[in-house]
Amino acid sequence: MPATALHRRFATLAATGALWLGLSLASLPLLAAVFAGKPILQRIGPHEYQATPLLWSLATAPGRLYVGSADGLLSYDSVAWTLVRLPGGVDATVVRRLPDGTVMVGGHDTWGRLDHDPVNGYHYVDLLAASGLDAESRRLGVVWEIAQTAEGVLVHSERFLQLLPADGGPLQVWPTPPAMRSLLVSGGEVFTRFEGQGLGRLRQGEWQPLPGGERFAETAVAAVLAWGGNRYVVAADGVWRIER
């Protein structure tokens, strides 16, 4: 995996190699009396989760923590850590929990679902391998993002955009445009910034410029958020409202 790409996408978690878990003192009155004014933090390092300190992505569920690492997917249930390896031992570069509770995982040339059964525990289901796509269409490079959209589950990788339709139809595939940057989902709508062009919507693999979006042609965008009936763009130079 190219080092420059990893540094660009995953610098925050990879820089520490540790997880920090915090608990609210307000919910722990006895501890609050002892540690008044001090947050309770737990540092979890590689010696505890027994894997590489290179961590790429994080997702949570009730009573469960999922961490994408260079060794695979780490799962924590507040008692023990479990490592689920991906095909070929590739990195788990992204882990996302969808609104229906499904945990999706992406790596190098693979993406799929995390399943669990009482006997065998967690295991990875390679949905890309089961898609029926030819070998060339399965050469994704690094999977950057997996997101639930109004159209279905969208996978953004180095080489391709792939959509698992909500209606159960066959997987759809489009080449990832070279100028495309981060995939941003808000209220089921997909937004993305094209370097040199600006911010726009992504529908059925086609980029549609957003009115006024050209102001982000050279400005990085971190998120598009919905609040109070409006949508806001969080960019490197401030927060902007999208006019309807």
H or E segment to which residue 240 belongs: strand 238-242
Among 20-29, 39-48, 149-158, 197-206, which stretch is predicted with the lowest mean pLDDT?
Answer: 20-29
Residue type, 7: H
12 phi and psi angles, rounded to 5 deg: -60, -55
Nearby residues of 29 by Cβ (< 8 Å), 6 or more positions away:
none
What is the mean predicted confidence (pLDDT) over 7-23? 53
pLDDT confidence band for 33 (50 / 70 / 90): low
Residue 59's pLDDT is: 95
pLDDT confidence band for 138 (50 / 70 / 90): very high
Nearby residues of 99 by Cβ (< 8 Å), 6 or more positions away:
148
206 phi and psi angles, rounded to 5 deg: -110, 135
What is the mean predicted confidence (pLDDT) over 87-97? 94
42: helix, coil or strand? strand
pTM: 0.82
Could you identify the residue written with the tokens 């130079």?
237
Q: Supply the mean pLDDT for the chain.
A: 85
Residue 20's pLDDT is: 63
Query: Who wins on pLDDT, 5 or 151?
Result: 151
Residue 53's pLDDT is: 82
Q: Is the dihedral of CA 184, 150, 189, 141 positive or negative?
A: positive
pLDDT digits (tens, 9 = 90+) for 41-89: 777 777 787 788 888 999 999 989 999 999 999 999 888 899 999 999 9
Could you identify the residue written with the tokens 């937004």?
191
What is the mean predicted confidence (pLDDT) over 144-159? 95
Residue 242: is its pLDDT beyond 60?
yes
pLDDT confidence band for 40 (50 / 70 / 90): low
Among 9-18, 133-142, 149-158, which stretch is predicted with the lowest mean pLDDT?
Answer: 9-18
Please state, as a whole number, how many other Cβ atoms lie within 10 Å of the Cβ of residue 93: 28
CB 20 within 8 Å of CB 41 = yes
